[in-house]
Amino acid sequence: MADVEKDSFFMPRIGVSNRFGTYTPTWEINLLSFQLVRPGYFTPPVPPAASSPHSRLGPCFQSCGPKKRRRQLVLHAARMFHVKSRSAVYPRSDVSRLKVPDEKVLWTVPWPDYNPPNYTSKHIKGQSWADPEIGESGFNPRWNSVDGKVNRKSHHGDYELYKSTPLNIIGRTGLSGRGILGRWGPNHAADPIVTRWKRNKQNIEISIDSKKPILQFVAIQRKDTGEWAIPGGMVDPGEVVTTTLKREFMEEALNTLGSNEAKKRESLINKFFSNGEEIYRGYVDDHRNTDNAWIETVAMNFHDESGNSVGLFPFCAGDDAANVQWTDISANLLLYASHTKFISLVAEKRGSHW
């Protein structure tokens, strides 16, 4: 596998590990395990077992040559990380994307006739939280850097520019412009995954199937799509991610921000949200992504081991949520964007049923 490891085909700008675990900024993804690893720590590739989800790479994966193997891995990465970003109709619009096949996702693959529709929602123009149009007078963004209070850096390293416009760090989506996203390039979000053990009176419930304890997480039902999701949101300019995580959870799941009840619980909430563990940092496969604007997130797990702190709070859905509830974690979950993947990482970390 040394020839694969040394190959330059896996470039940092596509948003996945370029050398199966060798150094890229912040976090990276091992293409064979699809797990996050610390930069600078090499994780040697392990052949996927026949029963693993990676067996769909095909029977020739272990026997074919390096070039075919690389191609299969890239196509598999495109299918895993860039599916909802190529959905047929862009959300909250009647705009249809140009269909992008798996083999044409990467910018490194030539497609001379690629000419997707351009769409930026009218409602974001002129908003204080949104960028002006590219080329507009007075708008001189510093790409790939912290631009004043706006973080224009990607978690995956530097992204490319075409005609002074950022290119999606994973690849083509079939739609140019910003869609309904406020920023050109990465739009940074934060996703708090709040968990507790499911209990029957004082005992933790055990799954009959896996013989493992059942974990629950706080899920909201989005008003815009009807899908269940983690109660996250966008990071405000200059805001620390940990502040966003707490604020979004309170707004979306407790809906008591600024109320007398919230002030009573403030000390408990502050303590609870000071002990999170990072689960994921990077690109989100989101319906709202375009060729020139996309969502990246930091997902952190805040776990109530005893169930006696946040686990006892009464929930109240915020303005953007239709419902909020504790939801059992299992492989049957169908969640918004990449949230199912984030939840699976939490289940693995906690050793719970999946």
Q: Is the pLDDT of residue 150 over 80?
A: yes
pLDDT at 63 over 60: no
Strands 215-222 and 228-229: antiparallel
What is the token pair recorded at 77? 């990465």
Residue 68 lies in a domain: no
Dist CA 9 CA 71 (whole Å)? 9
- CB of 111 closer than 8 Å to CB of 104: yes
Contact 297, 188 (CB under 8 A): yes
**For residues 69-94, average pLDDT:** 77
CA distance 47 to 4: 13
Q: Which amino acid does the sequence have at 331?
A: A
Binned at pLDDT 50, 70 and 90, residue 58 comes out as very low
Question: Cα–Cα distance between 328 and 347 in angstroms, integer?
Answer: 11
How many residues in total does the chain contain?
Answer: 354
Strand 176-179 with 118-120, pairing: parallel
d(CA 127, CA 121): 11
pLDDT in tens, 24-46: 333 334 433 333 333 333 333 33
191 vs 148: CA distance, rounded Å: 24
In a domain, 187, yes or no: yes
State CA 51 to chain mean position distance. 26
Please name every residue paired with 29 in a beta bridge, in sequence order, or none if there are none. Answer: 36
| Segment 322-334 mean pLDDT | 91
Which helix (H) or strand (E) segment holds residue 217: the answer is: strand 215-222
Query: For residue 342, is pLDDT > 90?
Result: yes
**Is residue 224 left, alpha or beta, with left meaning phi > 0 and alpha meaning psi from -120 to 50?**
alpha
Question: pLDDT-derived band of residue 316, with 50, 70 and 90 as boundaries?
Answer: confident
Tokens of 100: 């992008």
56 within a domain of the structure (yes/no): no
Q: What percent of the chain has pLDDT over 70?
A: 73
Token couple for 345: 């990482």
pLDDT band at 278 (very low <50, low <70, confident <90, very high): very high
311 found inside a domain: yes
Q: Exposed, middle or buried: residue 241 (CB in 10 Å: 0-12, 13-18, 19+)? A: middle
**Model confidence pLDDT, tens digit, residues 216-267:** 999 989 888 889 999 888 999 988 888 888 888 877 777 655 556 666 677 7
Whether 268 is covered by a domain: the verdict is yes
- Tell me what pLDDT residue 51 has: 37
Domain-embedded: residue 35: no
pLDDT for res 80: 64
Of 122-126, 151-155, 177-181, 238-242, the one with minimum mean pLDDT is: 238-242
3-state SS track over 262-323? HHHHHHHHHHHCCCCEEEEEEECCCCCCCCCEEEEEEEEEEEECCCCCHHHCCCCCCCCEEE
**Strand pairing partners for 204?**
199
- The count of structural domains within the chain is 1
**What is the percent of the chain where pLDDT is above 90?**
51
How are the residues of the chain apportioned to helix, strand and coil, as percentages rounded to the nearest 5?
Answer: 25, 25, 55
Spatial distance between the Cα atoms of 133 and 224, rounded to a whole number of angstroms: 26
Q: What pTM was computed for the model?
A: 0.77
Instruction: Identify whether 123 is part of a domain.
Output: yes
Instruction: Return the SS3 of 222.
Output: strand
Residue 284 sits in a domain whose CATH number is 3.90.79.10
Please give the residue range of the domain that contains residue 105.
Answer: 84-350
Distance CA(309)–CA(19), nearest Å, equals 43
**What would the mean pLDDT of 313-330 be, rounded to a whole number?**
80
Report if residue 53 sits inside a domain: no
Give 211's Cβ-side CA count (13 Å radius): 0
pLDDT of residue 8 exceeding 70, the answer is no
